[in-house]
């Protein structure tokens, strides 16, 4: 045996240096050994998606000229225009809008909604309550410049108790004013199942059978590259996401994307910039290489985060906590929810994640009032890019059922370390009994 890390004593010493006890380390190793087959499947999906991304980059003849900076109006930015075609090819859509001027996922969704809904139209959510920050965009909670303020109405059909779409309820809710149907793939701050692409496809087909002119938009945040297909492959007119989540691969410093039909994207571009300007303007200021390279890395980065989510589910389910998805369910996004039932457990979990971060590991997260949320939120995010949730992070609203939402990890090994450190924090604070191991 060489002095490589074939020697588990040496490997344990490395974990000990970042605050992990032998008890927690050995518990984690036993869980890892049980996950080898599942991890092999994840690697195959990543391999498929890596080839899909590579093919799109090669098809569009990406060159170093596409990394050049533009300024001012950004006219004739070849890198920007080519990247948008790469995204369109990956998502199998007619067009895409991929811009650093899109500040976050909520902004991307707001652009997609406000550009394709007019006064008198109705937006229908068929996956239940949307993510908290969209409530003010829609006008569920009053806010300046909401859709409601501009005369767009809103209706909602909740998922059935088993997580399936309520087809009967959807049929009753669709009427002459229904212009757009919204589907949120991920759970947000809810403890419902994440929706598979196949299930989303069946719901879209059902909506289109009632009225083929209805625009179907999918909030794709946290779901990109988790499966071999995307919602746009099964009929979505628009898929929307953030570049500081999966598709940015941890390198994109900002940005969002909307991929879809040419008509929807043209309207979205006009809303992002101005009528008459559309996609023609928008300087990229020298960050295009990070967009391209981040996209190239995204399938493997997403795979690492997905392994971390499954590891977390197994770690905490075995300790008696409710986890969504559970330890054996199929995965359709990178988020892992753990219901702790007590605020002090949520806070301890987030402290552990923060302590495992490469940036600001010395900071202790505290619940605070964040814009767009109706309760205090705690966030652990020691990230290279502020707010990046493809990096190791965890957050949760400080309200029942006191669930924490864990996601990210640019590498599987970092995700693993973060989960072990979160458990160690709970043990150190006396919130988890050592005797249950």
Supply the CATH number for residue 143's domain: 3.40.640.10
Q: Which residue has the tokens 């949120």?
A: 184
Residue 56 lies in a domain: no
Residue 1 lies in a domain: no
User: How far apart, in whole angstroms, are the C-alpha atoms of residue 144 and residue 150?
Assistant: 10
What is the model's pLDDT at position 215? 98
For the chain, how many structural domains are there in total?
Answer: 2
For residues 227 and 311, state if they share a domain.
no
- Confidence tier at 291 by pLDDT (50, 70, 90): very high
For residues 83 and 208, state if they share a domain.
yes
For residues 234 and 279, state if they share a domain.
yes
Within 8 A by CB and 6+ apart from 54, the residues are 296
For residues 200 and 112, state if they share a domain.
yes
Residue 2 lies in a domain: no
For residues 80 and 225, state if they share a domain.
yes
- Confidence tier at 7 by pLDDT (50, 70, 90): low
For residues 71 and 112, state if they share a domain.
yes
For residues 334 and 198, state if they share a domain.
no
Q: Which residue has the tokens 């098809």?
A: 59
Residue 380 lies in a domain: yes
In tens, the pLDDT along 67-86 reads: 999 999 999 999 999 999 99
- pLDDT average, residue stretch 245-259: 98
- Confidence tier at 371 by pLDDT (50, 70, 90): confident
For residues 349 and 237, state if they share a domain.
no
What is the model's pLDDT at position 9? 64
Residue 61 lies in a domain: no
For residues 122 and 248, state if they share a domain.
yes
In tens, the pLDDT along 185-227 reads: 998 888 888 999 999 999 999 999 999 999 999 999 999 999 9
For residues 291 and 304, state if they share a domain.
no
* Cβ pair 337, 191 in contact under 8 A: yes
- Confidence tier at 47 by pLDDT (50, 70, 90): very high
Which of 128, 141, 164, 187 is closest to 403 using CA atoms? 187
Q: Would the pLDDT of 373 be above 80? A: no
Q: Would the pLDDT of 263 be above 50? A: yes
Angle at 254 between CA 250 and CA 255, to 5 degrees: 110
Average pLDDT, the chain: 95
- Containing domain of residue 125, as a range? 66-295
For residues 120 and 220, state if they share a domain.
yes
* Cβ pair 80, 288 in contact under 8 A: yes
In percent, the amount of the chain with pLDDT more than 70 equals 97
For residues 289 and 307, state if they share a domain.
no
Residue 394 lies in a domain: yes
CATH number, domain of 40, equals 3.90.1150.60
What is the model's pLDDT at position 4? 55
Residue 60 lies in a domain: no
Residue 332 lies in a domain: yes
Q: Would the pLDDT of 381 be above 50? A: yes
Chosen domain end from 266, 295, 324: 295
- pLDDT average, residue stretch 120-147: 96
What is the model's pLDDT at position 398? 95
- Confidence tier at 358 by pLDDT (50, 70, 90): very high
| Integer CA distances (angstroms), 112 to 59, 90, 409, in order | 27, 19, 28
Retrieve residue 407's tokens: 């996601």
Chosen domain end from 252, 268, 295: 295
Q: Would the pLDDT of 1 be above 50? A: no
Chosen domain end from 251, 275, 295: 295
């Amino acid at each position: 045996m060489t002095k490589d890390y074939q020697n588990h004593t040496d490997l344990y010493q490395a974990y000990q240096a970042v605050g992990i006890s032998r008890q927690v380390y050995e518990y984690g190793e036993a869980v890892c050994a049980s996950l080898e087959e599942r991890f092999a499947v994840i690697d195959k999906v990543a391999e498929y998606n890596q080839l899909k991304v590579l093919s799109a980059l090669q098809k569009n003849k990406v060159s170093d000229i596409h990394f050049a900076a533009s300024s001012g109006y950004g006219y004739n930015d070849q890198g920007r225009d080519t990247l948008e075609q790469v995204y369109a090819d990956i998502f199998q859509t007619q067009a895409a809008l991929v811009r650093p001027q899109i500040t976050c996922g909520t902004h991307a969704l707001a652009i997609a909604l406000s550009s394709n809904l007019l006064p008198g139209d109705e937006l229908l959510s068929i996956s239940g309550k949307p993510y908290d920050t969209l409530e003010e965009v829609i006008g569920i909670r009053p806010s300046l410049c909401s859709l409601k303020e501009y005369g767009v109405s809103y209706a909602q059909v909740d998922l059935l108790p088993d997580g399936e779409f309520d087809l009967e309820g959807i049929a009753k809710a669709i009427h002459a004013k229904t212009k757009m149907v919204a589907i949120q793939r991920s759970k947000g701050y809810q403890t419902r199942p994440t929706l598979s692409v196949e299930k989303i496809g069946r719901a879209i087909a059902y909506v289109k059978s009632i009225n083929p002119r209805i625009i179907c938009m999918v909030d794709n945040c946290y779901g990109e590259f988790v499966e071999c297909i995307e919602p746009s492959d099964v009929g979505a007119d628009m898929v929307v996401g953030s570049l500081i989540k999966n598709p940015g691969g941890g390198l994109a410093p900002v940005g969002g994307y909307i991929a879809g039909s040419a008509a929807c994207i043209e309207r979205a571009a006009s809303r992002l910039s101005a009528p008459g300007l559309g996609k023609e303007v928008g300087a990229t200021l020298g960050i295009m290489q990070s967009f391209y390279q981040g996209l190239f890395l995204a399938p493997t980065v997403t795979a690492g985060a997905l392994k971390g989510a499954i590891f977390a589910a197994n770690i905490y389910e075995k300790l008696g906590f409710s986890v969504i998805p559970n330890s054996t369910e199929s995965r359709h996004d990178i988020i892992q929810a753990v219901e702790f039932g007590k605020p002090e457990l949520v806070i301890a979990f987030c402290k552990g994640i923060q302590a495992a971060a490469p940036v600001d590991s010395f900071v202790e997260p505290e619940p605070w009032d964040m814009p767009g949320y109706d309760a205090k939120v705690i966030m652990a995010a020691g990230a290279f890019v502020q707010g990046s949730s493809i990096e190791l992070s965890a957050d949760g609203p400080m309200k029942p059922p006191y669930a924490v939402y864990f996601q990210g990890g640019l590498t599987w090994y970092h995700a693993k370390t973060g989960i072990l450190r979160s458990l160690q924090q709970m043990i150190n604070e006396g919130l988890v009994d050592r005797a249950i191991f």
